[in-house]
Structure 1
Amino acid sequence: MLLRTFGWSFAVTALGLVAAVFYGGWTAFGIVAILSIMEISLSFDNAVVNAGILKKMNAFWQKIFLTIGILIAVFGMRLVFPVVIVAISAQLGPIEAVDLALTDKDRYQELVTDAHPSIAAFGGMFLLMIFLDFIFEDRDIKWLAWLERPLAKLGKVDMLSVCIALIVLLVSAITFGAHAHQHGGAHVDKAETVLLAGIAGLITYMIVGGLSGYFEDKLEEEEEREHEEEERAARTGKPKSAVALAGKAAFFMFLYLEVLDASFSFDGVIGAFAITNDIVLMALGLGIGAMYVRSLTVYLVRQGTLDDYVYLEHGAHYAIGALAVILLVTIQYEIHEIITGLVGVTLIAWSFFSSVRRNRAPAAG
């Protein structure tokens, strides 16, 4: 069962790590490994959400999601998107950005370092909004109850997440942005750039959230319509057109899943810039992580164990919040990649063991 589900992921991992060693030695090996772990940890809640929806789909649409969907997830978001981010931020054409990254790494590194304040502000705000919306939501299951209960009460205030995010952005622009780190160790005033990039990140999050909400509403409408059709068929004794309804509902499920996956993979791509600016290593690490997320989704569906480790989603979102803070701080200060990578792993491990303790003593949870 394990080999059948994770076989392709194991194979991609082996190939990716070997490629990393040939590309940049053992240092590259370590970076790719950290990126893979980060992507898996940040996307675990994505896998849980995917599994919850995927189990409602028939075998045909499950295969569509696990074939076409994986192409979009790995090659679209994890491979192409990092190049697009660098191209836009450094004002390069996509082909020029790729060519520069492969043929003149020193110049590419300079451009990315100079563009890092805008990348960090954009990504930091996007990640911060994901974290804030999570901690301000009143959830039945609370991990750090002493913190999450009062935050859930505060979350009843409309637009609180946006207000806090804008305050954080303003403070970051005035403090970190005024002394933004550049290549060669220089510091320049990029407060305006940080402010504009952060607002763009906030807008992007709201657009992605709006699309996800739209598809989620469509999915609920289709499920309600299918339920009404089943009741009508039961009363009249007439067969309902199950194939058409299931197909339409599954199509909206597929669209919804792809938007969700794009939003969750976006934080992994942005977070990767806090670890490395090398698009080859980024592509290898995030691609390996994406494969495991897909395999994990299948495993959760087949095993039916979505609720076994209830705090993992919390740990993933706290890791997202930590990455948001780290990205904003790196506008001015350099933070070692190992520290950045271990923060997320530590939070995920903590939430996992907390879930295990809860399962052993359910009355105490």
Structure 2
Amino acid sequence: MLLRTFGWSFGITAAGLALAGYFWGGKGLAVVAILSILEISLSFDNAVINAGIVRKLNPFWQKMFLTVGVLIAVFGMRLVFPIIIVAITAKLSPYEAVKVAINDHDRYETLVTNAHPAIAAFGGMFLLMIFLDFILEDREINWLAWLERPLAKLGKLDMLSVAVALTVLIVVATTVATGVPLHGGHGTIDKSSTVLLSGVAGVVTYLVVGGISGFFEERLEEEEDEDEDGAEGADGEESAAPAKSNGSGALAAVGLAGKAAFFMFLYLEVIDASFSFDGVIGAFAISNDIFQIALGLGIGAMYIRSLTVFLVRKGTLDDYVYLEHGAHYAIGALAVILMITIKYDVSEVITGLVGVVLIAASYWSSVVRNRRLGEDSEQSDDKAEVTTGV
């Protein structure tokens, strides 16, 4: 199970480190290894969130997540996306941006770092929307009930998450973004309009991609319910009725497919992109070589995907019910940290530890809950035995 799930990650790690040692020597190998560890430590909560979505997909789309999704994550978000950002913000042609990235590492680092406010605002607002929609939803299982139950009642107000997110964005744009230091400490610049525009784009992206995927998922569930009702009414032989596929070609037993799975896949990729922003920016504290950054973060991204599939196949989220809560709280913390980093430096160690601590706490709470339920079940069985004996 472990080798089958992480086999590709192990192989890519070996190949990646070998390439790093060949092209950059021992120092380059160490840099790539450190970048890989940085990406894994910053994105463990990403794996938990991904697992909650991937388990809804059928095997085909799970494989797409591990193949096409990896290519998008490694080459798209870790290599191409920073170049696109440089081209847009510095008003360079794509060709000139590539030349800067390859030949002038210091200038490339400066350009990417100066583009950080826009990147952080987009990613921060997207992640904040994920957190708010989770925390404002009424759930059967609550981790921090004293907080989650009152918020779930407030969540019955339409569009409350959007109102809260935009309020946060306005506060950030009018305070944190008004005096952003330039790279190298040479003065400050007002990034209010940039942060506002990028933040609104993050909210809109979440609403569009998440809304479309949610629409198709709900329609798929309705079609499956209709199929089940029809099967139950057919000669009273619902137990013998064969499973029917719906218009999307999906079955409840095998997970989402068709349009629903496609938009859910897009939603996954946008989530991954939002998580990758802090890793890409933080990587410049270790190296300003675009290829070292892409290789190191790419190896880490591969492990996150393998860990996602491992969590799905082991049914970890079903066994440890508070893990998703912890991961969403980590997302909320990361969104806040991204907003703060628009103006202030926050160590990657702090960013990584916040997520790890929250997930570890939710995991331990899940273990305690499982033990308590197990003890209650044993006591019930003992009472039943005594009653039967009497």
Normalising TM by the smaller chain, what interval?
0.7 to 0.9
Q: Does 1:174 align with 2:174?
A: yes
Deviation at 1:107, TM superposition (A): 0.5
Partners of 1:300 and 1:234 in 2: CA distance: 41
Counterpart selection for 1:48 from 48, 52, 65: 52
Match of 1:31 in 2: 35
Match of 2:216 in 1: 215
Deviation at 1:106, TM superposition (A): 0.5
Match of 1:331 in 2: 342
What SS does structure 2 have at the residue aligned with 1:43? helix
Partners of 1:60 and 1:166 in 2: CA distance: 37
User: CA distance change for structure 1 residues 253 and 72 in 2, over 3 Å: closer, same or farther?
Assistant: farther
Q: Deviations over 1:175-204 (max 9, x none)?
A: 111111211212122222222221122212
User: CA distance change for structure 1 residues 154 and 230 in 2, over 3 Å: closer, same or farther?
Assistant: same
Deviation at 1:271, TM superposition (A): 3.1
TM-score, L = length of structure 1: 0.84
Instruction: Look up the equivalent residue of 2:47 and give its one-letter code.
Output: S
User: CA distance change for structure 1 residues 74 and 40 in 2, over 3 Å: closer, same or farther?
Assistant: farther
Counterpart selection for 2:249 from 233, 247, 257: 247
Structure number with greater Rg is 2
Instruction: Look up the equivalent residue of 1:252 and give its one-letter code.
Output: K
Q: Deviations over 1:19-40 (max 9, x none)?
A: 5674745355323212123223
Q: How many residues align?
A: 361
Instruction: Look up the equivalent residue of 1:147 and give its one-letter code.
Output: L
Q: CA RMSD in A?
A: 3.3
TM-score, L = length of structure 2: 0.79
What SS does structure 2 have at the residue aligned with 1:170? helix
Q: Does 1:142 align with 2:142?
A: yes
Q: Indicate if the aligned counterparts of 1:121 and 1:194 stay in contact, CA closer than 8 A.
A: yes
Match of 2:183 in 1: 183
Partners of 1:138 and 1:231 in 2: CA distance: 31
User: CA distance change for structure 1 residues 220 and 78 in 2, over 3 Å: closer, same or farther?
Assistant: farther
What SS does structure 2 have at the residue aligned with 1:184? coil
Partners of 2:113 and 2:60 in 1: CA distance: 45
User: CA distance change for structure 1 residues 328 and 217 in 2, over 3 Å: closer, same or farther?
Assistant: same
Deviation at 1:258, TM superposition (A): 1.0
Q: Indicate if the aligned counterparts of 2:85 and 2:112 stay in contact, CA closer than 8 A.
A: no
Match of 1:102 in 2: 102
Instruction: Map residues 315-330 of structure 1 onto 2, 5 A cutoff.
Output: 315-330=326-341
Moved more, 7-16 or 283-292: 283-292
User: CA distance change for structure 1 residues 201 and 89 in 2, over 3 Å: closer, same or farther?
Assistant: farther
Q: Deviations over 1:140-177 (max 9, x none)?
A: 22122222222212212222211121121111111111
User: CA distance change for structure 1 residues 229 and 342 in 2, over 3 Å: closer, same or farther?
Assistant: same
Match of 1:7 in 2: 7
Q: Indicate if the aligned counterparts of 2:54 and 2:62 stay in contact, CA closer than 8 A.
A: no
Instruction: Look up the equivalent residue of 2:88 and give its one-letter code.
Output: I
Bigger share in helix: 1
For structure 1, the residue ranges without an aligned partner over 5 or more in a row are none
Partners of 2:194 and 2:338 in 1: CA distance: 15
Moved more, 317-326 or 260-269: 260-269
Q: Indicate if the aligned counterparts of 2:321 and 2:366 stay in contact, CA closer than 8 A.
A: yes
The share of aligned pairs that are identical, in percent, is: 56
User: CA distance change for structure 1 residues 241 and 138 in 2, over 3 Å: closer, same or farther?
Assistant: closer
User: CA distance change for structure 1 residues 175 and 297 in 2, over 3 Å: closer, same or farther?
Assistant: closer
Partners of 1:308 and 1:41 in 2: CA distance: 17
For structure 2, the residue ranges without an aligned partner over 5 or more in a row are 252-256, 377-390
